[in-house]
Structure 1
Amino acid sequence: MTVQFGLFGVNLFTGAGAAGARHIAVLAEELGLESLWAVDRIVLPSGYETGYPYDESGKVMGGQEEFDVADPLVWLTFAAAVTVRIKLATGVAIPPLRNPVVLAKQVASLDALSAGRVLLGVGIGWLEEEYQAVGVPWSDRGRRLDDYVEALRALWRDTRATVHNGHVDFDNAISLPHPTGGSVPVVVSGNTPRAARRAARLGDGFFPAAKTPAELAPLLEILRTESQAAGGDPDAIEITVSYAGEPAALDPAADGFQNAFDDLSELSERFEKLGVARVLLPALPEHALRAVAEGLADRFGPA
């Protein structure tokens, strides 16, 4: 298996508008990238105190509070209409903040309209104030996610779905159309042992925020052990990681471009040896994305 490359954060900033969304979706497909990943942010309460776990500052976007983020499912539907091949992924949606029956309908509809190109990345999120704004309890978010995934899959699979668990309660619910392939792959995110165990139990894929192979390896060991203990096949769980280097360095106009590109390539090769299927690139300006994508295609082969 050769590692493939996707594009992350496509629905942010100028990508949230019609012209930017069309441009980035069409360009990514033209360049042979494998997937588009749209982030999820319903609201960012001003002055939030919850620490953002993926930056030393504890703040998302370096503390910037006001920036455009298009709804990921709406954005991916727009992208589906202007592309034909590229996969359409949430990176990641936060199901506990949504009604699972409505979410099942939205995701299945997008999958049917896009001829089976959807990947549903899911997570519990990190922002307690966002849960408060939506009116959802923060304390049971993990159990809520588990129960919602059960409901999603039942509604995608069964013509008359019945689910009774701690957070979902319905009988003989008909939700059509079903996804093109009978279901939608669920990619579980998170960078903790608990997330790895959840991916082993529930996931068709795992998307940890590991920056290096050394950070990833112990999570994959937990994933494999838990999957085997549950009678699953750990090799069937697709692994996705996101490149964590400085995006500005991947500009061919930058002095250190070649070193940054070599670092990206070598890091991707090391991830590939661990079984990673996909490395996500930042949403770069067109000239930079062209240079990076073409260089990666030369080194790893076309998608």
Structure 2
Amino acid sequence: MKFALHFGNNTFPDGAGAGRLARLAEAAGFDSVFAVDHVALPDAYESTYPYAQGGRLPGSQFTDMPDPLIWMAFAAAATTRLRLMTGVIILPLRNPLVLAKQVATLDHMSGGRIELGIGVGWLREEFTALGVPFEERGRRADEYVAAMRALWREDGAAFAGRYVAFAGVSCNPKPLARTVPIIVGGHSEAAARRAGRLGDGFFPSIGAQVDTMPLIEVVRRSAEAAGRDPEAIEILTGCPDALPGAGQDACMAVEERRRRGVGRVVLPVNAFLPNLEESLPRFGDTVIRAFTA
């Protein structure tokens, strides 16, 4: 079982904070830290945020939310083992060739420690501001994944789709493994099917207002239908009963997740505030080491 911290970049939006969190997380035994993504937040919106009661995004449009990839570069430079993941980047809003270059560079320079968590987005008004059709975001995301993998895999790459097309194109440096793990985020059956069809993992995020555990079976069925091994797709979930202060109950909650096929437990970093220097090592000693010893 692996453990991750979520909301790194909007909780610690400066360089010093990024380094502090990353070093403490690595020392405590966490596998990874996640960074969230929004390119631009509107002053007002009618879209429903699906990961909080009330349907509103926590904070405000004035809250600092550094670009996840740049924030991850700071965190990677401060550590040697910790993995960094976008949790999740809104893939349809990004140019896939530019993103492939950025992610591959970061993976290459960090020694292969990058994962790309992707989502299709929920904030229609953000899509409007960027001039990207909201209704086509799922199909666009599928194409972008295939296009980026082609660029990571080989030189002289070619791809022909509805939204992106190129031939005889090389993008270097390559990721160390000639690919980067792609973790599909989302709380819907469409997201679960996408994870089974093309993802390396599935992350239904934290705070979904529906029970997301049944989606694990949707992932597995989708993988089988696509001729893929369902067991090769990592499942990431939150675990509210494993938050700091839960004691032995935390281990029991994590063990229950493991029995259901979860490979990585994701916890919000703000649950460890205000004193990371005490809370993260304590969690590492009492929970993480119980599953990694």
Query: Matched residues, percent identical?
Result: 45
In structure 1, the residue matched to 2:139 is: 143
Matching residue's letter, 2:31: E
Could you say what secondary structure the match of 2:214 adopts?
helix
Shift of 1:273: 0.5
Shift of 1:243: 3.3
Shift of 1:174: 0.8
In structure 2, the residue matched to 1:221 is: 217
Q: How does 1:145-164 map to 2 (within 5 A)?
A: 145-164=141-160
Check whether the contact 1:207–1:239 (CA below 8 A) recurs between aligned residues: yes
In structure 2, the residue matched to 1:269 is: 255
In structure 1, the residue matched to 2:72 is: 76
Mapped partners of 1:268, 1:199: distance in 2: 22
Which runs of no fewer than 5 residues in structure 2 stay unpaired?
none
Shift of 1:66: 2.4
Mapped partners of 1:290, 1:132: distance in 2: 43
Mapped partners of 1:100, 1:51: distance in 2: 26
Alpha carbon RMSD of aligned pairs, Å?
Answer: 1.9
Shift of 1:159: 0.5
Check whether the contact 1:210–1:216 (CA below 8 A) recurs between aligned residues: no
In structure 1, the residue matched to 2:2 is: 4
Q: 1:298 to 1:150 in 2, by over 3 A?
A: closer
Mapped partners of 1:244, 1:70: distance in 2: 26
Q: 1:261 to 1:142 in 2, by over 3 A?
A: farther
Answering whether residue 225 of structure 2 is matched by residue 234 of structure 1, we say: no
Q: How does 1:201-212 map to 2 (within 5 A)?
A: 201-209=197-205
Q: How does 1:104-123 map to 2 (within 5 A)?
A: 104-123=100-119
Aligned residues: 287
Find the partner of 1:299 among 278, 290, 293: 290
Mapped partners of 2:34, 2:9: distance in 1: 8
Answering whether residue 287 of structure 2 is matched by residue 290 of structure 1, we say: no
Shift of 1:85: 0.5
Find the partner of 1:177 among 157, 164, 173: 173
Mapped partners of 2:287, 2:242: distance in 1: 17
Could you say what secondary structure the match of 1:281 adopts?
strand
Q: How does 1:253-264 map to 2 (within 5 A)?
A: 257=245, 260-264=246-250
Q: 1:261 to 1:215 in 2, by over 3 A?
A: farther
Q: 1:43 to 1:263 in 2, by over 3 A?
A: farther
Mapped partners of 1:222, 1:246: distance in 2: 25
Mapped partners of 2:257, 2:149: distance in 1: 30
